[in-house]
Amino acid sequence: MIKVFEDFNFTRVGQMQSLLESHGIRTFIRNEYGSSVVGELPFVEVIPQLYVLEEKDAAKAIELLNLDLPAEDSGEQWVCPECGVDVEGNFSRCWKCGVNRRD
């Protein structure tokens, strides 16, 4: 088994598992129920970890995960043409007035 992903957020790990399984990659999650024993074990023992069963699938799995993960920097701030507020680059609409971004 090859570990391809881990996250404290089990929901996130589950989403990644679904993504890989939808591409025909067989996966396995360790520490699935880790949250129930937090405090009794070091955190490294309980963080949910996503594995692929077949070594040959690992490279594809990692590629899929990288595609799905949001970019660290999702773009520059933009200024709403309607109300003039600054909007973070990862929003496609103004948070204040709801106007769509215009490029």
Do 21 and 73 meet the contact criterion of CB atoms below 8 Å apart?
no
94 binds Zn ion (CB under 5 A): yes
Could you give the CA distance from residue 20 to residue 26 in angstroms, rounded to a whole number? Answer: 7
Q: For residues 58, 61, 62 and 63, what is the CA-based torsion angle, rounded to 10 degrees?
A: 120
16 binds Zn ion (CB under 5 A): no
Give every CB contact of residue 26 below 8 A, 6+ residues apart in sequence. Answer: 52, 53, 54, 57
What would the x/- binding string for Zn ion be over residues 27 to 66, using CB under 5 A? ----------------------------------------
23 binds Zn ion (CB under 5 A): no
What single-letter DSSP state applies at residue 71?
Answer: P
Q: Which of 45, 63, 82, 88 binds Zn ion (CB under 5 A)?
A: 82
How many residues form the binding site for Zn ion (CB under 5 A)?
7
97 binds Zn ion (CB under 5 A): yes
93 binds Zn ion (CB under 5 A): no
Q: Which residues would be at the binding site for Zn ion (CB under 5 A)? A: 80, 82-83, 94, 96-97, 99
